[in-house]
A and B are shown apart, each in its own frame.
Chain A
């Protein structure tokens, strides 16, 4: 992947690594804003109804309290200004358990938290809609046009006549993003302007939503968000906590800090919705798919809709003449679901790729061979050519590297002492898009020492964005890496796409690259000279005796990008060891082989992929947010109950990248790896569990009780 003399494509360590491990990287609430007051939210203890009365007297009289803000005294906000999930204290209506109903601002955090508990609330309760199992029978068509029934051929008829078929329902539970840094904000007003130090995956989006909701102009809002302690989608859209901090700061006329507690995270910032996915597959005796139906039932909020696109992988993964993709939703009294790493694809691939494994077993065919037989030459959903597709290489190289030939075709054939060993495979995919982003590059020369500054309002989720952009700029300008400073996460900088939907790397790197090329072009033009060999910007600064030079581009995706179907692809291989007596599963080895275009930095890329894999293993084995079907409260409110995988759950992890030069998707050929790493993982693990035990678990997570 490395080109000669280039730093791009080499595994350099994060340039902000030292800052982070020494605690010097300032996250949102680390900013040393003076005279700060602390806000603590309080929440509804019912899931549906209205607030009858609120007694804030004792809280207001509690020591240190500066203000108690509820729907009774909150300033008027625009409820459809782009803040997700409501809960803006604009009405007494309760739509989910744990909805914000007010906040206390006090001199200290402890005073605020204590006073928040002194508020007495009476409700008029109504019957909450929170039992998904019951309500899913009344699911309706989503409002979102993209979720309309998508038919090609006649899947139902083909299924009816098929000799080999699988029809099964796959269940995935509610999951939470639970980034280690909970959502947190400092708001500081300066006259008409407000600065919001806030962890945001979409800096400009946060600015727009905050401005619209607060009824002020975007230029009066500045978002500062240089470092993010993880987000996984929950910091993409912005939630009420952002603007309520600004409201609190206005009310007490002081800067205010508001950080959610872990317990508050479960009903403040979205979730991955619970899905019932019915997948039906039919194939001929020699393993050609003839029908694929993927029918998803899920839930959304009472007022707003968000539906994970669970059928997306099914649309494009396999050549199949008859296809049906549908969605049905049930509005429920739960917080609005939202984008969650690999939205739709991670959960959808669990259903599709489990069903593929089931059908391969029925056909007595190796699951890799079965997939290869159904490899499409074009995107079957729209007939477009692939910008590139690596599924075949991923499967073949992965099989070799993993030792797939050691897998037993029949389950329960590989026992070692108290354990059954199994192998599983599953494929995944995620779209690759470049989004418009601007970037500014400035060069400065002191003698022969040249430094560069790269600036854009991009977001670094902790994934290494600062680093890959420094690498890109270093090569494009002809400078060593340590002469590049990268400044991100500030809405005063040139606007950029969000770090969402795996668009960050391609959008930002192309913008920075374009800006560097443009800067070099401009210096060449300025010199008035002709060059046989194109000089670098660094050389030009010296030869043309320039002290400072700056330029900016507004980069856009290639004009013909949408003539192609552009995606990253992967194949996942899992080896599991299942304790025969107790049903405890360990993933002893995991391999992800990924084709994601140009890999800018194999080290940060590997971290991204194995990070996604780890979450996928969590999805397969441990993670589940449980709602009490009577009252709509979450009973899994801490890391003691919500089981993200621990170190011991994760065995040997390996990531291999397929070399690709996909210039059809964007100029640099960078396709994005943020999400694809989780897609297909849960299915690979579940398929390995079947191979080990002969038990097909269709309801995640695969906890010990399901294997007894």
Chain B
């Protein structure tokens, strides 16, 4: 690992001040992604600001004075604590399921909620400094190793010639379905609120930029609005082994019903794009319809019609359809077997 400076901070303003104007400084949260990348020489920060002592770990209800209107999840809380929190288990079981579908128990004990959103792609060419990767070496534009390489794990939506990577987070997929917003602070300027849908970006011509977070910004919390999905939601993750593997496809599905008629539907896909992929087309087709397998199928097919698979991942189109139908079925019936 390259030598770096290490600073510990204990409040938000010293955190944001310590990185202001320093493009080569990084916050260190759980370190489960950043340190791995530093050991592999992919990330080369000159300074690490340890933010684990910031008082940003709570999970608490949000109110507008009188009524509960949602929940706030501290950016530095651990993934394990979020997944097991009674408020989340009760009101946002989809989020708990998604978190628990990711990584391993040990990693979730270290990983923070903010860090999870900012984890970088698992594209093997990105991880191997001997390989060409536009995301890792933006200035030199060496090319994308995966575009015509081993791209079985890569994107079928929204990719560019510059980069075909997918975002690896499970948690973010559930957050996308649940209309989360991200609260951020910086040294200059007021608090900023970014909708999760706008938080991660597509690679386009700048694959080195994963998100719309600006340099120096600190995530303080993730907020979820109140919803009526708790009864009927499900996170399905399809992967090459039963646990501790990234998604081939994942689906966060949530339904609000009136009788058997769909009032609202939320579907987000993981493992298909550079960001959690909201299946807006499918959602729109479902609203107002009966919750039936045939309608689920029609919606899934419509969504997947726009997919553009690469050489080795055409299977994701069919798998994506089937997984959406299955996830919606389980959300509807609660029957996983």
Q: When the two chains form their complex, are residues B41 and A637 in contact, meaning their CB atoms are under 8 A apart?
A: no
Q: When the two chains form their complex, are residues A648 and B242 in contact, meaning their CB atoms are under 8 A apart?
A: yes
Q: Hey, which chain A residues are within 8 Å of B65, CB to CB?
A: none
Closest chain B CB from A64 CB (angstroms): 11
Q: Hey, which chain B residues are within 8 Å of A633, CB to CB?
A: 128, 130-131
A366 contacts partner chain B, Cβ-Cβ < 8 Å: no
Question: Given contacts A621-B241, A643-B241, A705-B248, are A581 and B131 in contact (CB under 8 A)?
Answer: no
Jot down 25 A-B pairs with beta carbons below 8 A, ordered by A. Answer: A113-B1, A114-B1, A114-B2, A117-B2, A417-B337, A418-B326, A581-B325, A581-B326, A622-B241, A626-B150, A633-B128, A635-B124, A637-B124, A640-B122, A640-B246, A641-B122, A643-B240, A648-B242, A648-B243, A649-B241, A649-B243, A704-B238, A704-B239, A705-B152, A708-B319
Q: How many interface residues does B have (CB within 8 Å)?
A: 38
Closest chain B CB from A77 CB (angstroms): 26
Interface string of B292-305 (1 = CB under 8 A from A): 00000000000000
Report Cα–Cα, A704/B315, bound state, in Å.
9
A657-708 contacts to B (CB < 8 Å): 701, 703-705, 708
Q: When the two chains form their complex, are residues B149 and A630 in contact, meaning their CB atoms are under 8 A apart?
A: yes
A274 contacts partner chain B, Cβ-Cβ < 8 Å: no
Report Cα–Cα, A583/B322, bound state, in Å.
10
Report Cα–Cα, A586/B241, bound state, in Å.
9
B6 contacts partner chain A, Cβ-Cβ < 8 Å: no
Closest chain A CB from B239 CB (angstroms): 8
Q: Can you name 12 extra interface pairs (CB under 8 A) apart from A117-B2, A622-B240, A646-B241?
A: A114-B3, A581-B323, A581-B326, A582-B326, A583-B238, A630-B149, A633-B130, A635-B150, A641-B122, A646-B243, A647-B243, A705-B315
B40 contacts partner chain A, Cβ-Cβ < 8 Å: yes
Report Cα–Cα, A29/B148, bound state, in Å.
41
A50 contacts partner chain B, Cβ-Cβ < 8 Å: no
Closest chain A CB from B333 CB (angstroms): 11
Closest chain A CB from B57 CB (angstroms): 27
Q: When the two chains form their complex, are residues A418 and B337 in contact, meaning their CB atoms are under 8 A apart?
A: yes
Q: Hey, which chain A residues are within 8 Å of B325, CB to CB?
A: 581
Q: When the two chains form their complex, are residues B150 and A628 in contact, meaning their CB atoms are under 8 A apart?
A: yes
Q: Hey, which chain B residues are within 8 Å of A621, CB to CB?
A: 241
Q: Residue on A with the closest CB to B242?
A: A648
B310-332 contacts to A (CB < 8 Å): 315, 318-319, 322-323, 325-326
Q: How large is the interface on A (under 10, 10 to 19, 20 to 34, 35 or more residues)?
A: 35 or more
B335 contacts partner chain A, Cβ-Cβ < 8 Å: yes
Q: Hey, which chain A residues are within 8 Å of B122, CB to CB?
A: 640-641
Report Cα–Cα, A635/B152, bound state, in Å.
11
B32-56 contacts to A (CB < 8 Å): 40-41
Q: When the two chains form their complex, are residues A583 and B319 in contact, meaning their CB atoms are under 8 A apart?
A: yes
Report Cα–Cα, A117/B2, bound state, in Å.
9
A636 contacts partner chain B, Cβ-Cβ < 8 Å: yes
Q: Hey, which chain B residues are within 8 Å of A649, CB to CB?
A: 241-243
Using a CB–CB cutoff of 8 Å, the interface residues on chain A facing chain B are 45, 97, 110, 113-114, 117, 263, 416-419, 581-584, 586, 621-622, 626, 628, 630-631, 633, 635-638, 640-641, 643, 645-649, 701, 703-705, 708
Q: Which of A117, A416, A586, A641 has the most CB of B within 10 A?
A: A641
Q: Residue on A with the closest CB to B249?
A: A582
Q: Hey, which chain B residues are within 8 Å of A416, CB to CB?
A: 337
Q: Residue on A with the closest CB to B123?
A: A635
Q: Hey, which chain B residues are within 8 Å of A704, CB to CB?
A: 238-240, 248, 319
Report Cα–Cα, A417/B326, bound state, in Å.
12
Question: Given contacts A113-B1, A626-B150, A637-B124, are A419 and B337 in contact (CB under 8 A)?
Answer: yes
Q: Hey, which chain B residues are within 8 Å of A708, CB to CB?
A: 315, 318-319, 322
Interface string of B137-175 (1 = CB under 8 A from A): 000000001001110100000000000000000000000
B245 contacts partner chain A, Cβ-Cβ < 8 Å: yes
Closest chain A CB from B129 CB (angstroms): 8
Closest chain A CB from B128 CB (angstroms): 7
Q: Which of B3, B244, B336 has the most CB of A within 10 A?
A: B244
Q: When the two chains form their complex, are residues B240 and A637 in contact, meaning their CB atoms are under 8 A apart?
A: no
Q: Hey, which chain B residues are within 8 Å of A645, CB to CB?
A: 241
A-B CB proximity, top 4 nearest? A648-B242, A705-B315, A45-B130, A635-B124
Q: Hey, which chain B residues are within 8 Å of A641, CB to CB?
A: 122, 124
Q: Hey, which chain A residues are within 8 Å of B335, CB to CB?
A: 417
Q: When the two chains form their complex, are residues B319 and A643 in contact, meaning their CB atoms are under 8 A apart?
A: no
B172-187 contacts to A (CB < 8 Å): none
Q: When the two chains form their complex, are residues B238 and A582 in contact, meaning their CB atoms are under 8 A apart?
A: yes
Report Cα–Cα, A681/B149, bound state, in Å.
32
Closest chain A CB from B263 CB (angstroms): 25
Q: Hey, which chain B residues are within 8 Å of A581, CB to CB?
A: 322-323, 325-326
Report Cα–Cα, A407/B337, bound state, in Å.
21
Closest chain A CB from B190 CB (angstroms): 39
Q: Which of A582, A584, A630, A708 has the most CB of B within 10 A?
A: A582
B125 contacts partner chain A, Cβ-Cβ < 8 Å: yes
Report Cα–Cα, A293/B283, bound state, in Å.
55
Q: Hey, which chain B residues are within 8 Å of A114, CB to CB?
A: 1-3
Q: Residue on B with the closest CB to A703?
A: B240
Q: Residue on A with the closest CB to B246?
A: A640
Question: Given contacts A626-B150, A648-B242, A705-B315, are A582 and B127 in contact (CB under 8 A)?
Answer: no
Report Cα–Cα, A99/B244, bound state, in Å.
30
Q: Hey, which chain A residues are within 8 Å of B148, CB to CB?
A: 630
B256-302 contacts to A (CB < 8 Å): none
Report Cα–Cα, A704/B239, bound state, in Å.
7
Q: Residue on B with the closest CB to A43?
A: B130
Q: Hey, which chain A residues are within 8 Å of B336, CB to CB?
A: 418
Report Cα–Cα, A581/B251, bound state, in Å.
13
Closest chain A CB from B329 CB (angstroms): 9
Report Cα–Cα, A636/B240, bound state, in Å.
13
Closest chain A CB from B6 CB (angstroms): 13
Report Cα–Cα, A586/B242, bound state, in Å.
8
Report Cα–Cα, A342/B334, bound state, in Å.
44
Closest chain B CB from A359 CB (angstroms): 29
Q: Hey, which chain B residues are within 8 Å of A647, CB to CB?
A: 243
Q: Hey, which chain B residues are within 8 Å of A628, CB to CB?
A: 145, 149-150
Report Cα–Cα, A586/B240, bound state, in Å.
11
Q: Hey, which chain B residues are within 8 Å of A643, CB to CB?
A: 240-241, 245
Q: Residue on A with the closest CB to B41?
A: A117
Q: Which of B40, B128, B148, B325 has the most CB of A within 10 A?
A: B128
Report Cα–Cα, A646/B103, bound state, in Å.
12
Q: Which of A110, A117, A581, A622 has the most CB of B within 10 A?
A: A581
Question: Given contacts A630-B149, A635-B125, A637-B127, are A584 and B238 in contact (CB under 8 A)?
Answer: yes
